[in-house]
Chains A and B, each alone.
Chain A
Amino acid sequence: MKKSALELREVTKIFQKGREVVRAVDTVNLTVEQGELVTFLGPSGCGKTTTLRMVAGFELPTGGSITIQGKDMTNTPVNKREIGFVFQNYALFPHMSVFNNVAYGLKSRGEKDADIRPKVIEALKLVGLQNTENRYPSQLSGGEQQRVALARVIVMEPNLLLMDEPLSNLDAKLRLHMRTEIRKIQKKLGITCLYVTHDQSEALTMADRIVVMNKGKVEQIGTPFEIYSNPQSLFVADFIGHANIVKLEVASLSQESITAKIPGGTSFTAKALKPDVYSATEVLYHVGKSAALIVRPESIQVGAAQEGEGIFPATVVSSIFVGSHIEYELLLKNNATIHASVPFSTGMEIYGEEASVSLTFDEQNSAFLPA
Chain B
Amino acid sequence: MHETNAFRPTRKSLMKTDPALFSALVAVWLSFAIFIFLPVIRLLITTFYVDGIFSLANMRKVLGTSYNIKALYGSLILATSVSIAGTFLGYIFALAVTRTALPRPLKVLLGAVTILPLISPPFTSSISLTLALGPNGMLLKALGIGDFSIYGFLGTWISETLTYFPVAFMVISAILNTMSATLDDAALSLGASRWRMFTTITIPLSLPGIGNSILLLFGASLADFATPLILGGHTFPVLPTEAYLMITGMFDLRGGATLSFLLLVPALLVFFLQRMLLGNKSFVSVTGKNGARTEFAKLPTALSVFICAVCLFIVAFILYLYAIILWGSFVKVWSVNNTFTLEHYAYVFKHGQKAISDTLLIAFLSTVIGSVLAVVIGYVAQRKQFFGKRFFEFTSMLNYALPGTVVGIAYIIAFNQKPILLTGTLSILVAAYVFRYYATGIRSVIASLEQIDPALEEASMSLGASSVRTFTHVTIPLIIPAVLAGMRYLFIHCMTAISATIFLVSVRWTLLTTRILESMTELQFSQASAFSMVLIVIVFLADALMLYLLKVTTSKFHKPQEISYEKVGA
Residues of B at the A interface (CB closer than 8 Å) are 1, 3-4, 7-8, 453, 455-456, 458-467, 469, 473-474, 477-478, 556-558
Query: Is A137 an interface position by the 8 A CB rule?
Result: yes
Are B557 and A104 in contact, with the CB atoms below 8 A? no
Contact across chains for A16 and B463 when beta carbons are under 8 A apart: no
Residue of B nearest to A105 (CB): B463
CA separation between A156 and B464, bound complex, in Å? 9
New A-B pairs, 19, CB < 8 Å, besides A58-B461, A78-B461: A14-B4, A16-B3, A16-B4, A21-B3, A56-B462, A57-B462, A58-B462, A79-B462, A79-B466, A91-B455, A94-B557, A94-B558, A95-B477, A95-B557, A104-B463, A108-B460, A108-B465, A136-B556, A156-B463
- Determine whether A236 belongs to the interface, using a CB cutoff of 8 Å to chain B: no
Whether A85 is near chain B, meaning CB under 8 Å from some CB there, is yes
Main secondary structure of the interface of B (DSSP, over half): helix
Q: Does A87 contact B (CB under 8 A)?
A: yes
Across the interface, which residues of A come within 8 angstroms of B453, CB to CB?
Answer: 89, 91
The reply to whether A94 and B463 contact each other, CB–CB distance below 8 Å, is: no
Measured between alpha carbons, how far is A110 from B56 in the docked complex, in Å? 66
6 shortest interchain CB distances as A-B pairs: A105-B463, A91-B455, A108-B465, A94-B557, A91-B459, A85-B462
A137 to B462, CA, bound (A): 19
Cβ B463 vs Cβ A62 within 8 A: no
Contact A109 B464 (CB under 8 A): yes
- Give CA–CA (A57, B458) in the complex, Å: 10
Query: Taking the nearest CB of chain A, how far is it from the CB of B392, in angstroms?
Result: 20
Contact between chains at A153 and B463 (CB < 8 Å): yes
The residue on B at minimum CB distance from A75 is: B12
Restricting to A63-92, which residues have a CB under 8 Å from any CB of B? 63, 77-85, 87-89, 91-92
Residue of B nearest to A110 (CB): B464
Complex contacts, B465 vs chain A, CB 8 Å: 79, 104-105, 108
A242 to chain B, nearest CB (A): 32
126-167 of chain A: CB within 8 A of chain B: 136-138, 152-153, 156
**Quick check: A93 and B456 within 8 Å, CB to CB?**
yes
Contact call B474/A93, Cβ cutoff below 8 A: yes
In this complex, what residue of B is CB-closest to A63? B7
A153-193 contacts to B, CB under 8 A, are: 153, 156
Complex formed: what's the CA distance from A198 to B458 in Å?
22
Across-interface contacts of B478 in A (CB, < 8 A): 94-95
Assembled-state Cα–Cα distance A45/B450 (Å): 23
Across the interface, name the chain A residue whose C-beta is closest to B474. Answer: A93
Which residue, A16, A62, A80, A108, has most C-beta atoms of chain B within 10 A? A108
User: Beta-carbon contacts of A93-106 to B below 8 Å, as 1s and 0s?
Assistant: 11100000000110
Contact A84 B474 (CB under 8 A): no
A-B contact pairs, 22 of them (CB 8 A): A14-B4, A14-B7, A16-B1, A58-B458, A63-B7, A77-B461, A78-B461, A79-B462, A79-B465, A80-B464, A84-B463, A91-B453, A92-B459, A94-B557, A104-B460, A104-B473, A105-B463, A105-B465, A108-B460, A109-B464, A153-B462, A156-B464
Query: Inside 8 A of A82's CB, which chain B residues have their CB?
Result: 464
- When distances are taken between beta carbons in the complex, the residues of chain A under 8 Å from B557 are 94-95, 136-138
